[in-house]
Amino acid sequence: MSTSQTLGPDEMFCNSCGSVIKKMASVCPKCGVAPSTMDLATTSKKWVLLLIFCLLFGVLGLHRFYVKKIGTGILYLCTGGLFGVGWTVDWIMILAGKFKDKQGNYITRKAQTGEETF
């Protein structure tokens, strides 16, 4: 996805794959995922909180509970973040923008326009 790409008034970027889709589309024609109605500020805040939770309390699985992955949250809590390996993988996935919530939506730090939202 190019960061210089402009959108029409009835277009947006797919939250899952980043392709340009119509705002009224019920699913993305490229990846088949339903677009999220989450606004950009919420997405950015959710990513920041997820990163903080993972860094500070990742071995306790707090970041997993935050995205409503309760089962793996309990597993992380009982095993120390899968003995540190699961916590490390999650941390890298969050930084790369490839971590998904329970509904399968990617949680990223980038806005749909391709700009950083720090």
Query: How far apart, in whole angstroms, are the C-alpha atoms of residue 31 and residue 78?
Result: 35
Q: Is 40 left (phi over 0), alpha (psi -120 to 50) or beta?
A: alpha
Give 17-60 pLDDT, tens digit per residue: 777 888 777 788 888 777 664 444 456 678 899 999 999 999 99
Instruction: Give the burial class of 26: count Cβ atoms within 10 A of its Cβ; 0-12 exposed, 13-18 middle, 19 or more buried.
Output: exposed
Rounded to whole angstroms, the Cα distance separating 115 from 60 reads: 32
- pLDDT per position as a tens digit, 60-107: 999 999 999 999 999 999 999 999 999 999 999 999 988 988 888 888
Task: Decide if 106 contacts 47 (C-beta within 8 A).
Answer: no
Q: For the whole model, what pTM was predicted?
A: 0.59
- The band of 2, judged by pLDDT with boundaries at 50, 70 and 90, is very low
Using DSSP's 3-state secondary structure scheme, residue 68 falls into coil
Cβ atoms within 10 Å, residue 77: 16
Q: How many CB atoms lie within 10 A of CB 98?
A: 11
